[in-house]
Protein backbone atom coordinates (compact mmCIF):
# COMPACT_ATOMS: atom_id res chain seq x y z
CA UNK A 1 0.00 0.00 0.00
CA UNK A 2 1.27 3.47 -0.84
CA UNK A 3 1.73 5.31 2.47
CA UNK A 4 2.71 8.63 0.94
CA UNK A 5 0.18 11.36 1.69
CA UNK A 6 -0.09 15.08 1.21
CA UNK A 7 -1.73 17.21 3.87
CA UNK A 8 -4.66 17.76 1.52
CA UNK A 9 -5.30 14.04 1.14
CA UNK A 10 -5.30 13.77 4.95
CA UNK A 11 -8.06 16.36 5.31
CA UNK A 12 -6.15 19.63 5.47
CA UNK A 13 -8.26 22.80 5.25
CA UNK A 14 -7.55 26.57 4.98
CA UNK A 15 -8.82 26.90 8.58
CA UNK A 16 -5.71 25.05 9.79
CA UNK A 17 -3.37 26.77 7.35
CA UNK A 18 -4.23 30.11 8.95
CA UNK A 19 -2.91 28.86 12.29
CA UNK A 20 0.62 28.13 11.06
CA UNK A 21 3.64 30.23 11.88
CA UNK A 22 6.70 30.82 9.67
CA UNK A 23 8.63 28.27 11.78
CA UNK A 24 5.90 25.69 11.19
CA UNK A 25 6.20 26.13 7.45
CA UNK A 26 10.00 26.11 7.39
CA UNK A 27 11.12 23.78 10.18
CA UNK A 28 8.30 21.93 11.90
CA UNK A 29 6.13 18.95 10.98
CA UNK A 30 2.37 18.87 10.59
CA UNK A 31 0.56 15.60 11.32
CA UNK A 32 -2.90 14.26 12.09
CA UNK A 33 -3.75 11.85 14.90
CA UNK A 34 -4.93 8.56 13.41
CA UNK A 35 -4.83 6.31 16.49
CA UNK A 36 -4.98 6.80 20.27
CA UNK A 37 -3.25 4.01 22.17
CA UNK A 38 -2.79 3.59 25.91
CA UNK A 39 0.76 4.93 26.00
CA UNK A 40 1.06 6.85 22.77
CA UNK A 41 -0.64 8.62 19.90
CA UNK A 42 -0.08 7.54 16.33
CA UNK A 43 0.25 10.39 13.83
CA UNK A 44 0.24 10.51 10.05
CA UNK A 45 1.92 13.23 8.03
CA UNK A 46 3.66 13.77 4.73
CA UNK A 47 6.69 11.87 6.04
CA UNK A 48 4.56 8.87 7.04
CA UNK A 49 3.59 7.45 10.44
CA UNK A 50 5.18 8.57 13.69
CA UNK A 51 4.50 8.00 17.39
CA UNK A 52 4.01 10.55 20.14
CA UNK A 53 4.32 9.31 23.73
CA UNK A 54 1.46 10.28 26.01
CA UNK A 55 2.33 12.25 29.15
CA UNK A 56 0.67 14.70 31.52
CA UNK A 57 2.01 17.79 29.75
CA UNK A 58 0.10 17.01 26.55
CA UNK A 59 -3.42 18.35 26.01
CA UNK A 60 -6.14 15.73 25.63
CA UNK A 61 -6.33 14.76 21.97
CA UNK A 62 -8.57 12.56 19.83
CA UNK A 63 -8.50 10.99 16.40
CA UNK A 64 -8.70 13.67 13.74
CA UNK A 65 -6.76 16.32 15.67
CA UNK A 66 -3.97 18.18 13.86
CA UNK A 67 -0.71 18.73 15.75
CA UNK A 68 2.61 20.46 15.20
CA UNK A 69 5.86 18.72 16.13
CA UNK A 70 9.45 19.78 15.71
CA UNK A 71 11.78 18.06 13.25
CA UNK A 72 12.51 15.34 15.83
CA UNK A 73 8.83 14.54 16.41
CA UNK A 74 8.52 16.37 19.74
CA UNK A 75 5.07 17.84 20.43
CA UNK A 76 4.74 21.62 20.09
CA UNK A 77 1.00 22.33 19.99
CA UNK A 78 -2.42 21.14 18.86
CA UNK A 79 -4.20 23.25 16.26
CA UNK A 80 -7.62 24.71 17.03
CA UNK A 81 -10.41 22.37 15.97
CA UNK A 82 -12.98 23.13 13.30
CA UNK A 83 -15.37 20.63 14.95
CA UNK A 84 -15.31 18.32 17.95
CA UNK A 85 -17.33 15.30 19.07
CA UNK A 86 -16.50 15.14 22.76
CA UNK A 87 -13.99 12.37 23.59
CA UNK A 88 -14.53 10.84 20.14
CA UNK A 89 -13.33 12.73 17.08
CA UNK A 90 -12.17 16.11 15.83
CA UNK A 91 -12.19 18.11 12.62
CA UNK A 92 -15.04 16.33 10.84
CA UNK A 93 -16.42 18.49 8.04
CA UNK A 94 -19.63 16.59 7.20
CA UNK A 95 -21.65 13.91 8.97
CA UNK A 96 -23.81 11.60 6.88
CA UNK A 97 -26.83 10.78 9.05
CA UNK A 98 -27.96 7.49 7.55
CA UNK A 99 -31.54 6.23 7.81
CA UNK A 100 -33.29 3.44 5.85
CA UNK A 101 -36.40 4.05 3.75
CA UNK A 102 -37.67 0.47 4.04
CA UNK A 103 -38.67 1.17 7.65
CA UNK A 104 -40.73 3.85 9.38
CA UNK A 105 -38.71 7.06 9.62
CA UNK A 106 -37.30 7.44 13.14
CA UNK A 107 -37.60 11.21 13.50
CA UNK A 108 -36.54 11.35 17.19
CA UNK A 109 -33.31 9.51 16.36
CA UNK A 110 -32.56 11.72 13.36
CA UNK A 111 -33.19 14.80 15.53
CA UNK A 112 -30.70 13.54 18.10
CA UNK A 113 -28.06 12.96 15.45
CA UNK A 114 -28.66 16.45 14.07
CA UNK A 115 -28.29 17.93 17.55
CA UNK A 116 -25.02 16.07 18.09
CA UNK A 117 -23.68 17.21 14.72
CA UNK A 118 -24.64 20.83 15.25
CA UNK A 119 -23.17 20.82 18.77
CA UNK A 120 -19.94 19.50 17.29
CA UNK A 121 -20.07 22.34 14.69
CA UNK A 122 -19.98 20.00 11.71
CA UNK A 123 -22.28 20.02 8.68
CA UNK A 124 -25.04 17.42 8.38
CA UNK A 125 -26.44 15.58 5.37
CA UNK A 126 -29.30 13.14 5.93
CA UNK A 127 -28.80 10.14 3.63
CA UNK A 128 -31.93 8.02 3.16
CA UNK A 129 -30.86 4.60 1.93
CA UNK A 130 -32.73 1.69 0.32
CA UNK A 131 -34.73 3.96 -1.99
CA UNK A 132 -35.05 0.95 -4.32
CA UNK A 133 -37.13 -0.82 -1.65
CA UNK A 134 -39.51 2.05 -0.90
CA UNK A 135 -42.67 3.24 -2.64
CA UNK A 136 -43.17 6.43 -0.63
CA UNK A 137 -39.65 7.88 -0.57
CA UNK A 138 -40.84 11.40 -1.44
CA UNK A 139 -43.26 11.51 1.48
CA UNK A 140 -40.64 10.26 3.93
CA UNK A 141 -38.08 12.71 2.61
CA UNK A 142 -40.57 15.54 3.08
CA UNK A 143 -41.01 14.58 6.76
CA UNK A 144 -37.31 15.10 7.38
CA UNK A 145 -37.06 18.27 5.30
CA UNK A 146 -39.68 19.83 7.59
CA UNK A 147 -37.20 19.60 10.46
CA UNK A 148 -35.06 22.34 8.89
CA UNK A 149 -35.65 24.13 5.57
CA UNK A 150 -31.86 24.35 5.05
CA UNK A 151 -31.18 20.68 5.78
CA UNK A 152 -29.72 18.67 2.89
CA UNK A 153 -31.59 15.37 2.45
CA UNK A 154 -30.61 12.82 -0.20
CA UNK A 155 -32.27 9.53 -1.20
CA UNK A 156 -29.93 6.82 -2.45
CA UNK A 157 -29.45 3.16 -3.17
CA UNK A 158 -26.30 2.49 -1.14
CA UNK A 159 -25.38 -0.44 -3.41
CA UNK A 160 -25.40 1.67 -6.58
CA UNK A 161 -22.36 3.85 -7.28
CA UNK A 162 -24.25 6.18 -9.62
CA UNK A 163 -26.92 6.74 -6.98
CA UNK A 164 -24.29 8.19 -4.64
CA UNK A 165 -23.23 10.97 -7.03
CA UNK A 166 -25.43 13.37 -5.03
CA UNK A 167 -22.95 13.05 -2.13
CA UNK A 168 -20.00 14.24 -4.25
CA UNK A 169 -19.80 17.80 -2.76
CA UNK A 170 -18.98 16.32 0.66
CA UNK A 171 -16.47 13.83 -0.74
CA UNK A 172 -13.97 16.20 -2.32
CA UNK A 173 -10.26 15.99 -1.55
CA UNK A 174 -9.49 17.60 1.79
CA UNK A 175 -12.90 16.85 3.28
CA UNK A 176 -13.39 14.62 6.34
CA UNK A 177 -16.67 12.74 6.72
CA UNK A 178 -18.22 10.55 9.41
CA UNK A 179 -21.37 8.43 9.49
CA UNK A 180 -24.07 8.16 12.14
CA UNK A 181 -27.09 5.88 11.93
CA UNK A 182 -29.12 3.28 13.79
CA UNK A 183 -28.97 -0.47 13.36
CA UNK A 184 -29.74 -1.64 9.83
CA UNK A 185 -29.49 1.84 8.35
CA UNK A 186 -27.14 0.76 5.57
CA UNK A 187 -23.93 2.43 6.78
CA UNK A 188 -21.68 -0.52 5.91
CA UNK A 189 -23.16 -0.84 2.42
CA UNK A 190 -22.70 2.89 1.87
CA UNK A 191 -19.05 2.79 2.98
CA UNK A 192 -18.28 -0.28 0.86
CA UNK A 193 -19.78 1.32 -2.24
CA UNK A 194 -17.87 4.56 -1.67
CA UNK A 195 -14.66 2.54 -1.41
CA UNK A 196 -15.40 0.66 -4.64
CA UNK A 197 -15.48 3.73 -6.87
CA UNK A 198 -13.05 3.42 -9.78
CA UNK A 199 -10.58 6.25 -9.43
CA UNK A 200 -6.89 7.03 -9.81
CA UNK A 201 -6.42 6.32 -6.10
CA UNK A 202 -7.74 3.43 -4.03
CA UNK A 203 -9.02 3.50 -0.46
CA UNK A 204 -6.49 2.99 2.33
CA UNK A 205 -6.77 2.43 6.08
CA UNK A 206 -4.33 4.50 8.13
CA UNK A 207 -2.69 3.55 11.41
CA UNK A 208 -3.20 0.77 13.96
CA UNK A 209 -6.86 1.55 14.68
CA UNK A 210 -7.74 2.12 10.99
CA UNK A 211 -10.01 4.92 12.20
CA UNK A 212 -8.92 7.17 9.32
CA UNK A 213 -9.52 5.84 5.82
CA UNK A 214 -8.89 7.51 2.50
CA UNK A 215 -11.66 7.22 -0.09
CA UNK A 216 -11.22 7.11 -3.89
CA UNK A 217 -13.14 10.38 -4.19
CA UNK A 218 -10.38 12.12 -2.19
CA UNK A 219 -12.18 12.52 1.13
CA UNK A 220 -11.17 11.01 4.48
CA UNK A 221 -13.58 8.75 6.36
CA UNK A 222 -13.27 9.06 10.15
CA UNK A 223 -14.74 6.02 11.90
CA UNK A 224 -13.90 5.54 15.60
CA UNK A 225 -15.15 3.08 18.19
CA UNK A 226 -16.35 6.06 20.21
CA UNK A 227 -18.61 7.21 17.39
CA UNK A 228 -19.94 3.66 16.97
CA UNK A 229 -20.69 3.45 20.71
CA UNK A 230 -22.36 6.84 20.50
CA UNK A 231 -24.63 5.54 17.75
CA UNK A 232 -25.70 2.61 19.94
CA UNK A 233 -26.45 4.90 22.86
CA UNK A 234 -28.47 7.23 20.64
CA UNK A 235 -30.36 4.30 19.14
CA UNK A 236 -31.23 2.97 22.59
CA UNK A 237 -32.25 6.42 23.83
CA UNK A 238 -34.66 6.68 20.91
CA UNK A 239 -36.23 3.36 21.95
CA UNK A 240 -36.54 4.65 25.51
CA UNK A 241 -38.25 7.83 24.29
CA UNK A 242 -40.95 5.77 22.57
CA UNK A 243 -42.10 4.66 26.03
CA UNK A 244 -42.55 8.21 27.33
CA UNK A 245 -45.98 7.46 28.82
CA UNK A 246 -44.64 4.51 30.83
CA UNK A 247 -41.67 6.56 31.99
CA UNK A 248 -44.09 9.25 33.15
CA UNK A 249 -46.02 6.70 35.20
CA UNK A 250 -42.76 5.43 36.70
CA UNK A 251 -42.33 8.87 38.24
CA UNK A 252 -45.50 8.21 40.27
CA UNK A 253 -44.31 4.93 41.82
CA UNK A 254 -44.15 4.93 45.62
CA UNK A 255 -40.46 4.03 45.62
CA UNK A 256 -37.90 5.84 43.48
CA UNK A 257 -36.00 2.59 42.83
CA UNK A 258 -39.12 0.63 41.84
CA UNK A 259 -38.31 -2.11 39.31
CA UNK A 260 -41.99 -2.42 38.30
CA UNK A 261 -42.00 -6.10 39.13
CA UNK A 262 -44.70 -6.34 41.77
CA UNK A 263 -43.45 -3.81 44.33
CA UNK A 264 -46.18 -2.13 46.43
CA UNK A 265 -47.27 1.23 45.10
CA UNK A 266 -46.08 0.57 41.54
CA UNK A 267 -47.96 3.03 39.30
CA UNK A 268 -47.25 0.98 36.18
CA UNK A 269 -48.75 -2.19 37.66
CA UNK A 270 -51.79 -0.17 38.76
CA UNK A 271 -52.27 1.23 35.25
CA UNK A 272 -52.14 -2.28 33.77
CA UNK A 273 -54.69 -3.54 36.30
CA UNK A 274 -57.01 -0.64 35.48
CA UNK A 275 -56.62 -1.30 31.71
CA UNK A 276 -54.98 2.09 31.14
CA UNK A 277 -51.83 0.38 29.86
CA UNK A 278 -51.50 -2.60 27.58
CA UNK A 279 -49.79 -5.45 29.43
CA UNK A 280 -47.84 -6.64 26.37
CA UNK A 281 -46.45 -3.12 25.81
CA UNK A 282 -45.26 -2.99 29.41
CA UNK A 283 -43.66 -6.40 28.88
CA UNK A 284 -41.76 -4.99 25.86
CA UNK A 285 -40.68 -2.01 27.98
CA UNK A 286 -39.34 -4.34 30.68
CA UNK A 287 -37.59 -6.47 28.05
CA UNK A 288 -35.90 -3.36 26.66
CA UNK A 289 -34.63 -2.46 30.13
CA UNK A 290 -33.28 -5.95 30.72
CA UNK A 291 -31.54 -5.97 27.31
CA UNK A 292 -29.91 -2.62 27.99
CA UNK A 293 -28.39 -3.62 31.33
CA UNK A 294 -25.90 -6.26 32.42
CA UNK A 295 -27.58 -7.04 35.75
CA UNK A 296 -30.80 -6.54 37.74
CA UNK A 297 -29.78 -3.16 39.12
CA UNK A 298 -30.76 -1.35 35.90
CA UNK A 299 -27.43 0.50 35.94
CA UNK A 300 -26.94 2.15 32.54
CA UNK A 301 -23.89 3.00 30.52
CA UNK A 302 -22.78 6.61 30.82
CA UNK A 303 -24.18 7.83 27.48
CA UNK A 304 -27.35 5.79 27.65
CA UNK A 305 -27.99 6.77 31.26
CA UNK A 306 -27.63 10.41 30.26
CA UNK A 307 -30.36 10.11 27.63
CA UNK A 308 -32.57 8.01 29.95
CA UNK A 309 -32.40 10.77 32.56
CA UNK A 310 -32.93 13.35 29.84
CA UNK A 311 -36.11 11.60 28.69
CA UNK A 312 -37.41 11.56 32.27
CA UNK A 313 -36.52 15.24 32.71
CA UNK A 314 -38.38 16.15 29.51
CA UNK A 315 -41.44 14.30 30.77
CA UNK A 316 -41.33 16.10 34.13
CA UNK A 317 -40.94 19.44 32.33
CA UNK A 318 -43.99 18.75 30.14
CA UNK A 319 -46.03 17.78 33.19
CA UNK A 320 -44.95 20.94 35.02
CA UNK A 321 -45.78 23.10 32.01
CA UNK A 322 -49.21 21.50 31.67
CA UNK A 323 -49.92 22.10 35.37
CA UNK A 324 -49.18 25.80 35.00
For the entire predicted model, the pTM comes to 0.74
What Cα–Cα distance (Å) separates residue 7 from each residue in 172, 218, 228?
14, 12, 26
pLDDT at 262 over 80: no
Residues of the chain with CATH 2.40.50.140: 8-85
Question: Between these two residues, 268 and 66, which has the higher pLDDT value?
Answer: 66
Architecture of domain 243-323: Orthogonal Bundle (1.10)
Residues of the chain with CATH 3.40.50.300: 89-223
Order of all β-strands in the sheet with 94-100: 152-155, 123-129, 94-100, 176-181, 220-222, 212-214, 204-206
What Cα–Cα distance (Å) separates residue 282 from each residue in 122, 213, 254, 270, 271?
38, 44, 18, 12, 10
* 3 state SS of 221: strand
Residues of the chain with CATH 1.10.40: 243-323
Residue 292: what pLDDT? 52
User: What's the CATH class of domain 8-85?
Assistant: mainly beta
CATH number of 89-223: 3.40.50.300
The dihedral sign for the CA sequence 187, 190, 196, 197: negative
Average the pLDDT over each of 123-132, 198-207, 300-309 and give the range with the smallest value: 300-309
Q: Give tens-digit pLDDT for 56-111.
A: 999 999 999 999 999 999 999 999 999 999 889 999 999 999 999 998 888 888 98
* Spatial distance between the Cα atoms of 259 and 254, rounded to a whole number of angstroms: 11
Residue 306: what pLDDT? 45
> Please, which pLDDT band fits residue 202 given cuts at 50, 70 and 90?
confident
Residue by residue, DSSP assigns 15-61 as HHHTT--HHHHHT-EEEEEEEE-SSEEEEEETTEEEEEE--TTSPP-
First-to-last C-alpha distance (Å) of the chain: 66
Average the pLDDT over each of 99-113, 116-130, 164-178 and give the range with the smallest value: 99-113
What Cα–Cα distance (Å) separates residue 171 from each residue in 9, 164, 194, 236?
11, 10, 9, 30
Amino acid sequence: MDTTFTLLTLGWQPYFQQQLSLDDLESNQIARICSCQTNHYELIGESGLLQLDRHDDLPEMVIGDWVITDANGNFLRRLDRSSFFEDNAANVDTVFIVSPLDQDINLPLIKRYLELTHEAQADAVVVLTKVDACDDASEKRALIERLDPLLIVETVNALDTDSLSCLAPALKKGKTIALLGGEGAGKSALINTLKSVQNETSSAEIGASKALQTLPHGAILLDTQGLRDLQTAQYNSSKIESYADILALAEECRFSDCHHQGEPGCAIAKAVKEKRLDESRVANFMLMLSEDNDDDSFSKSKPQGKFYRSAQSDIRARKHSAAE
